[in-house]
Amino acid sequence: MNRKTFLQILVPATLGTLFVKEVFAGSKSIAPIASLADESLYVIPPYLQAGDTIAITCPAGAVDYSSMLPCEIALKKWGLNVRYGSTVGKKWQRFGGTDKERLDDFQAMIDDPSIKAIMFGKGGYGTMRIIDKLNWDKFKQNPKWLVGYSDLTVVHSHVHANLGIATIHGDMGTGFIADPYDASAFSLQQALFGGKMEYNIKSFSMNRLGTAKGKVVGGNLSMLHACTGSKSDIKTDGKILFIEDVSEFKYSIDRMMMSLKRSGKLENLTGLIVGEFTATKQDAEDSFDMRIEDIIWDKVKEYNYPVCFHFPSGHIRENRALKLGLNYTMNVGREYVLLEEDGLPIQPIRNIDLKIEKDTSVATNLPATDSL
């Protein structure tokens, strides 16, 4: 079975399955940005090409090299050189090294022009401890794709709020599996190499029908809540908000949704995408029997914009990639929901499966490590 045949099997037959159209745009140009006051244009980092270098760092939780092998194998099959940061394999407390070690590793990757994308090793917690100490001057001059989710929502939000540069909400280093037909990884490949993101999923009974247009922003609900009032707080007016979460009590989800509502972040959306809320905790003291869908619906029922529940993204095996900060059109119908990225030409993506040559280059503070 080839990859295209496999993807065609993913046409929605059950909730959360989808079809990702194969596309490719090989342009290395950077889209302009007018100003931070005018958010109509975001900078789009150059899309990757075979031979580019992607680096992996751990600004949050700790990872070891063995857990990164499926990721490394996949990235190299895409034709990329993989460079590990100094934090991979380190651990301090629950983090991938001390705050200084994680800050220095991330900063070196931001500043290194030979690195064309940065993937984060793992979520958990820790990125917020270093985000305000990062210097983004060279990143503004040479934008590159930042890839992650969960705790790394603070990076997405900070970059969007302060720099107006697009990022990718997608699998991190520990999220890959040894499966050549992993639809989650394939969607990330599409995003990194310039594919147009187009998702068609089966509609959920509580969805609010309609069409929404706007930039998709957001990420992990807990982190969006934690960033409120900080330098990393995002503006949501006129945008499509995406939310997901994991391992939270239902009353905590209710409280965080109320916080977004009270701060005005839900009032002027053009649409809401609700990803998966998984591994919900049970409160041993008091019951909170509302379904997750009801908790969220209660906070947005008074508004008129379309709402899509159970979009297949978040802390799930098939975590579909989203380019955050870019314009999409979302059509929520009775049978299906179509989420389509605007503005890219549709061309077949090339099947990138090249012979891998060991990367022997070394950047400052970034040893070229090959764990295979």
Residue 126 and residue 99 in one domain: yes
Q: Which of these three, 164, 195, 226, is where a domain ends?
A: 195
**Do 120 and 211 share a domain, yes or no?**
no
Tell me what the pLDDT averaged over the chain comes to. 85
The per-residue pLDDT for range 14-35, each reduced to its tens digit, is 333 344 343 333 334 333 322 2
CATH code for the domain in which residue 96 is found: 3.40.50.10740
| Cα angle for residues 66, 69, 70 (degrees, 5° grid) | 135
DSSP 47-101: PP-TT-EEEEE-SSB---GGGGHHHHHHHHHTT-EEEE-TTTT--BTTBSS-HHH
Q: In what order do the strands lie in the sheet with 336-341?
A: 198-202, 336-341, 327-332, 210-220, 240-246, 271-278, 307-308
Instruction: Verify that 280 and 176 share a domain, yes or no.
Output: no
**Amino acid identity at 327:** N
pTM of the entire predicted model: 0.84
Same domain for 66 and 115: yes
pLDDT of 327 > 60? The answer is yes
Could you tell me if 54 and 159 lie in one domain? yes
Convert the pLDDT of each residue in 172-201 to its tens digit. Answer: 999 999 887 888 999 999 999 999 999 999
In terms of domains, do 82 and 112 share one? yes
Residue 132: domain span: 41-195
CATH of the domain at 240: 3.50.30.60
One domain, residues 181 and 242 = no
Boundary of a domain, candidates 150, 176, 195? 195
* Domain identity same for 71 and 186: yes
Helices (H), the chain: 3-9, 69-77, 99-111, 137-141, 153-162, 183-192, 221-227, 250-262, 292-300
Tokens representing residue 304 in the block:
């008129």
Tell me how many domains the chain contains.
2
How does pLDDT run across 114-142, given as a tens digit for each residue? 999 999 999 999 999 999 999 999 999 99
- Provide the edge-to-edge strand list for the sheet that holds 115-120: 81-84, 53-57, 115-120, 145-148, 167-169, 322-324
Q: How confident is the model at residue 39 (pLDDT cuts 50, 70, 90)?
A: low
For the stretch 60-84, what's the b/e string if a residue is b when 16 or more beta carbons lie within 10 angstroms of its beta carbon?
Answer: bbbbeeebbebbbbbbbbbbbbbbb
Q: Are 122 and 255 contained in the same domain? A: no
Query: Is 30 inside any structural domain?
Result: no
**Tokens 């939780």 belong to which residue?**
61
Is the same domain home to 270 and 169? no
